[in-house]
């Protein structure tokens, strides 16, 4: 039976003592999962042949006119899809509407490839029905043509720095980085934001007031597509223009690390939103450091209806013998729309957790029947008693003791007291072998509960006080083109 793994968006984990993806059901209302089924093609495992990876449309705000922001049309341009992900997850729209597709070419994002089936951004003029991406392109075309969409922003990462005149190898008219791209000067006079050149100029000017270095200056690049640019004719933005919608290509530079690319994308997108009359709030600071932090935060995945939740900001490269439901699709819920859980290529039964272009951890599942008779355990923690739901994190200063429950067996992973059931025993950090922790910092340990051989649920103990678990975050540690690093 094919395993289908959908990625969706839980809310941000709260910073309280117990953390779990919050408000998931409510937030799913914002998500329109478009049913363009994509095949990952070569994925093979005993459990699955193909894996649908649909793109996600996240609708923020409510208004008769929406701004459509698209990221990830090419899978190797993380600045664009990371920025779009931040808009989808960290912005609140107070006035107006923003629809975000952060992961248009999701299979290519996961594979760190420009395109698994050629360049998707050249498929908007003509496309054979036999093309593996036909359904995806049709769905995004429908979205672009949706009567409520009034402005289309397509986020890219381009090489070098576009300059209208040749300056040097990296700064010349053949480069695409750091530019606002338009297909022509203007659309009809009645078109919303149809004065494309003026709008692009104004946006570039505003973004240029916050450059990190003068070298990064943004320029407007008019490709004069209708005058015979055979390549740009096939692009998503020209498709929008042909259908009477104002559309812009936004390019950050591949010379930058991902957070700087996303920083410039967000500067441009915010300038466009303001000009489109959208009012918004963002819950992080718009600086390269603020963007880097926001990209590192809230990485998590849950399984089995949140009976298993793993925070992954500081995950070990592998998590072994994680109990996951047997005989039912291993549905994973991820905290970000550019995350996916898929069988690892060539590694049989293992699951890889992907975040954009990177694989952040590998899971070796222990496939189990699920027992649904219990949702929480009672735990004595640092002298007080707590009900601890499965899928949550319990902060522990000194010790936690799971109260015994007849018929159930507790297994604290990495702690061996010689008994089959580890309930009723004070669990302290020093009792755990560090290599069994979920995190690299050896603070997070799994407590699993079983009924006979069936798995009931799991929660985590977090030793050493609250606060960030992101000791070593999954972002590149040096700047540069993403080809070697993924990000």
Chain contacts with Zn ion (rule: CB under 5 A): 74, 77, 156
Closest CB 113 distance from Zn ion, rounded Å? 12
150 contacts 65 by C-beta, under 8 angstroms: yes
Q: Compare residues 45 and 121 and give the one whose CB is closer to Zn ion.
A: 121
Q: Compare residues 50 and 141 and give the one whose CB is closer to Zn ion.
A: 141
Closest CB 156 distance from Zn ion, rounded Å? 3
Closest CB 163 distance from Zn ion, rounded Å? 18
Closest CB 258 distance from Zn ion, rounded Å? 14
CA-to-CA separations, 487 to 294, 311, 406, in angstroms, rounded:
15, 20, 49
> Which of 288, 289, 261, 257 lies closest to 476, judged by CA?
257
Q: Compare residues 140 and 415 and give the one whose CB is closer to Zn ion.
A: 140
Between CA 137 and CA 236 the distance in angstroms is 9
Q: Compare residues 104 and 425 and give the one whose CB is closer to Zn ion.
A: 104
How many CB atoms are located within 10 Å of the residue 166 CB?
A: 11
Closest CB 36 distance from Zn ion, rounded Å? 20
Q: Compare residues 151 and 155 and give the one whose CB is closer to Zn ion.
A: 155
Closest CB 81 distance from Zn ion, rounded Å? 10
Closest CB 251 distance from Zn ion, rounded Å? 7
> Which of 341, 330, 290, 314 lies closest to 473, judged by CA?
314
Q: Compare residues 43 and 68 and give the one whose CB is closer to Zn ion.
A: 68
> Which of 278, 272, 388, 268 lies closest to 19, judged by CA?
388
Closest CB 254 distance from Zn ion, rounded Å? 9
Closest CB 168 distance from Zn ion, rounded Å? 22
Which residue sits closest to Zn ion, CB atoms considered? 156
Considering Cα of 129, then 134, then 139, then 143, what sign does the dihedral take?
Answer: negative
Q: Compare residues 156 and 443 and give the one whose CB is closer to Zn ion.
A: 156
Between CA 96 and CA 277 the distance in angstroms is 7
Between CA 419 and CA 157 the distance in angstroms is 55
> Which of 31, 6, 10, 30 lies closest to 21, judged by CA?
10
User: DSSP class of residue 306?
Assistant: G
Starting at the edge strand found earlier in the chain, the sheet holding 426-428 runs 384-389, 376-381, 399-402, 426-428
Q: Compare residues 105 and 306 and give the one whose CB is closer to Zn ion.
A: 105
Q: Is 17 exposed, middle or buried (0-12, 13-18, 19+ CB in 10 A)?
A: middle
Query: Which residues lie closer than 8 Å to 174 by C-beta, 6 or more apart?
Result: none
Q: Compare residues 2 and 173 and give the one whose CB is closer to Zn ion.
A: 173
Closest CB 468 distance from Zn ion, rounded Å? 33
Q: Which residue matches tokens 């709030």?
A: 281
- The phi and psi torsions of 264 (rounded to 5 degrees) equal -70, -35
Helix (H, G, I), strand (E, B) or coil at 323: strand
Q: Compare residues 158 and 300 and give the one whose CB is closer to Zn ion.
A: 158
């Amino acid at each position: 039976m094919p395993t289908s793994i959908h990625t969706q968006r839980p809310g941000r984990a709260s910073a309280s003592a117990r953390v779990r993806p919050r408000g998931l059901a409510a937030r799913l209302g914002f998500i329109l999962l478009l049913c363009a089924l994509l095949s990952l093609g070569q994925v093979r495992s005993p459990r699955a042949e193909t894996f649908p990876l649909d793109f996600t449309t996240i609708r923020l705000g409510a208004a008769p006119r929406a701004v459509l922001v698209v990221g990830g049309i090419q899978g190797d341009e993380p600045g664009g899809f990371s920025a779009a992900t931040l808009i989808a997850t960290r912005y609140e729209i107070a006035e107006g509407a923003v629809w975000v597709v952060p992961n248009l070419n999701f299979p290519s994002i996961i594979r760190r490839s420009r395109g698994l089936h050629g360049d998707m951004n050249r498929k908007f003029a003509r496309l054979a029905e036999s093309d593996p991406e036909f359904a995806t392109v049709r769905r995004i075309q429908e979205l672009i043509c949706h009567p409520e969409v009034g402005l289309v922003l397509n986020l890219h990462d381009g090489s070098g720095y576009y300059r209208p005149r040749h300056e040097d190898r990296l700064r010349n008219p053949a480069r695409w980085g750091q530019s606002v791209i338009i297909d022509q000067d203007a659309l009809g006079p009645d078109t919303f934001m149809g004065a494309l050149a003026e709008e692009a100029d104004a946006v570039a000017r505003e973004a240029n007031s916050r450059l990190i270095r003068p070298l990064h200056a943004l320029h407007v690049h008019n490709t004069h597509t209708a005058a015979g640019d055979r390549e740009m004719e096939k692009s998503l933005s020209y498709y929008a223009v042909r259908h009477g919608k104002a559309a812009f290509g936004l390019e950050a530079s591949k010379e930058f690390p991902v957070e700087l690319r996303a920083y410039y994308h967000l500067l441009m997108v915010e300038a466009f939103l303001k000009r489109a009359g959208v009012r918004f709030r963002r819950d992080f600071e718009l600086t390269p450091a603020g963007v880097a932090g926001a990209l590192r935060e809230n990485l998590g995945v849950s399984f089995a209806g949140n009976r298993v939740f793993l925070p992954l900001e500081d995950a070990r490269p592998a998590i072994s013998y994680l109990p996951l439901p047997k005989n039912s699709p291993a549905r994973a819920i991820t905290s970000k729309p550019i995350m996916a859980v898929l069988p690892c290529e060539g590694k049989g039964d293992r699951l890889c957790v992907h975040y954009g272009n990177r694989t952040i951890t590998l899971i070796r599942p222990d496939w189990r029947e699920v027992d649904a008779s219990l949702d929480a355990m009672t735990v004595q923690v640092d002298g007080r008693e707590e009900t601890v739901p499965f899928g949550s994190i319990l902060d522990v200063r000194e010790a936690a003791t799971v109260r015994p429950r007849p018929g159930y067996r507790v297994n604290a992973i990495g702690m061996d007291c010689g008994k089959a059931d580890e309930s009723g025993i004070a669990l302290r950090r020093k009792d755990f072998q560090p290599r069994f922790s979920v995190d690299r910092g050896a603070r997070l340990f799994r407590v699993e509960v079983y009924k006979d051989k069936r798995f009931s649920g799991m929660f985590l103990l977090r030793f050493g006080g609250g606060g960030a678990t992101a000791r070593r975050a999954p972002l590149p540690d040096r700047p540069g083109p993403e080809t070697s690093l993924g990000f």
